[in-house]
Structure 1
Amino acid sequence: MNKIKGSVFFSVFVAMLGLMLLAPITPSLIRELGLKEIHSGILISTGSIMMAVMAPLWGNISDAKGRKPVILIGLIGMSISTLLLVITFYGGLHHWLSGGLLLFLMIAARSLVGIFIPAILSSSQAYMGDVTEGKERGSGMAIIGAANGLGLVFGPAIAGIFTLIGLLWPLYFGTAIAAVAFIVALLLMPAAKPMIQKGAVKVSPFQPGLRLYLLVALVTMIGVVTIQVIGGFYLQDQLNLPSDQLARVVSFGLMFTGMAMLISQIVQSKWLKWEPRPMIQLGSLIFVASMLVFLFTTHLSFYYLAFFIFGLGAGFMMTGFMAGASLSVSNERQGGVAGLVTAMQGIAAIIAPILSTTLYQMNRYSPMVMIAILTALLGAVMLIGSRKRPDHDAVDRIDRQGTHAGSGGAK
Structure 2
Amino acid sequence: MSTAGRPPSSGRRAFLVRKSLIPLLIAVLVVYSAQQLLTPVLAPLSRELTLTETQLGLVIAVAATALTIASPLWGHALHRIGLRLVLLSGLGLATAGLTGFAAVAALGLDDTMPTPLVFALMLITRSIVFGAGVAALPVAALAVAGTATTTETERTRATGLVGAAQGVSMVLGPAAGGALAAASLMLPLYLAPILCLLLALWVLATVRPPAASAPAAHSGPGPRPWDARLWPLLTIGFFLYLSLGLVQVIIGFLVADRLHLGPQETAGAVGIVLFTAGVVLVAVQGAAVPALGWPVLRLLRTGSPIAIAAFALLSVSESLWLITTAFALLALGLGLAIPGFTAAPTLVVEQTQQGSISGLVNATIGATFIVGPLLGTALYEIDPAIPILTALGAVTAALVLAWASPAARRTQVTTVTAPPGTPAEPQEER
The TM-score bracket by the shorter chain reads over 0.9
Q: Does 1:196 align with 2:204?
A: no
2:308 touches 2:392 (CA, 8 Å); kept in 1? yes
Quote the Cα distance in structure 2 between the aligned partners of 1:273 and 1:188.
Answer: 31
1:15 touches 1:121 (CA, 8 Å); kept in 2? no
2:143 touches 2:215 (CA, 8 Å); kept in 1? no
Aligned length: 402
Paired residues for 1:43-54 under 5 Å: 43-54=59-70
- Specify which of 2, 24, 29 is matched with residue 45 of structure 2: 29
Higher helix share: 1
**Displacement of 1:133:** 2.1
Q: What is the aligned-residue RMSD (CA, Å)?
A: 2.1
1:324 aligns with 344
Q: Does 1:6 align with 2:22?
A: yes
Q: Secondary structure at the match of 1:202?
A: coil
Q: Secondary structure at the match of 1:261?
A: helix
Q: Secondary structure at the match of 2:113?
A: coil
**Displacement of 1:194:** 5.4
1:95 aligns with 111
Quote the Cα distance in structure 2 between the aligned partners of 1:101 and 1:357.
Answer: 26
Q: Which moved more, 1:82-91 or 1:208-217?
A: 208-217
1:360 aligns with 380
Q: Secondary structure at the match of 2:89?
A: helix
1:125 aligns with 142
Change (3 A) 1:298 1:52: same
Quote the Cα distance in structure 2 between the aligned partners of 1:291 and 1:389.
Answer: 24
2:12 aligns with none
Q: Does 1:59 align with 2:80?
A: no
1:64 touches 1:194 (CA, 8 Å); kept in 2? no
1:284 touches 1:313 (CA, 8 Å); kept in 2? yes
Structure 1 segments, 4+ long, off by >4 Å, are none
Q: Secondary structure at the match of 1:396?
A: coil
1:4 touches 1:189 (CA, 8 Å); kept in 2? no
Quote the Cα distance in structure 1 between the aligned partners of 2:356 and 2:49.
Answer: 40
2:296 touches 2:339 (CA, 8 Å); kept in 1? yes
1:4 touches 1:190 (CA, 8 Å); kept in 2? no
Q: Does 1:380 align with 2:400?
A: yes
Q: Does 1:182 align with 2:236?
A: no
Quote the Cα distance in structure 2 between the aligned partners of 1:332 and 1:268.
Answer: 29
Amino acid at match of 1:49: T
Quote the Cα distance in structure 1 between the aligned partners of 2:267 and 2:281.
Answer: 21
Q: Deviations over 1:135-191 (max 9, x none)?
A: 100010111010111111112111101101210111222112212222333344341
Quote the Cα distance in structure 1 between the aligned partners of 2:116 and 2:28.
Answer: 34
**Displacement of 1:70:** 0.5
Q: Deviations over 1:226-257 (max 9, x none)?
A: 22210111111111112220011111211111
Change (3 A) 1:34 1:122: same
Q: Does 1:371 align with 2:408?
A: no
2:215 touches 2:353 (CA, 8 Å); kept in 1? no
Quote the Cα distance in structure 1 between the aligned partners of 2:65 and 2:295.
Answer: 31
2:156 touches 2:290 (CA, 8 Å); kept in 1? no
Q: Does 1:16 align with 2:36?
A: no
Change (3 A) 1:280 1:117: same
**Displacement of 1:269:** 4.2
Quote the Cα distance in structure 2 between the aligned partners of 1:106 and 1:394.
Answer: 46
2:183 aligns with 165
1:67 touches 1:126 (CA, 8 Å); kept in 2? no
Paired residues for 1:6-405 under 5 Å: 6-110=22-126, 111-134=128-151, 135-191=153-209, 192=213, 195-197=216-218, 199-385=219-405, 392-397=410-415, 401=417
Quote the Cα distance in structure 1 between the aligned partners of 2:412 and 2:235.
Answer: 20
> TM-score when scaled to structure 2?
0.88
1:67 touches 1:124 (CA, 8 Å); kept in 2? no
Amino acid at match of 1:237: D
Amino acid at match of 1:84: G
Quote the Cα distance in structure 2 between the aligned partners of 1:187 and 1:227.
Answer: 41
Amino acid at match of 1:271: A
1:48 touches 1:346 (CA, 8 Å); kept in 2? yes
2:104 touches 2:118 (CA, 8 Å); kept in 1? yes
Quote the Cα distance in structure 2 between the aligned partners of 1:129 and 1:194.
Answer: 8
Amino acid at match of 2:69: V
1:139 touches 1:273 (CA, 8 Å); kept in 2? yes
Q: Secondary structure at the match of 2:54?
A: helix
Amino acid at match of 2:155: R
**Displacement of 1:384:** 3.0
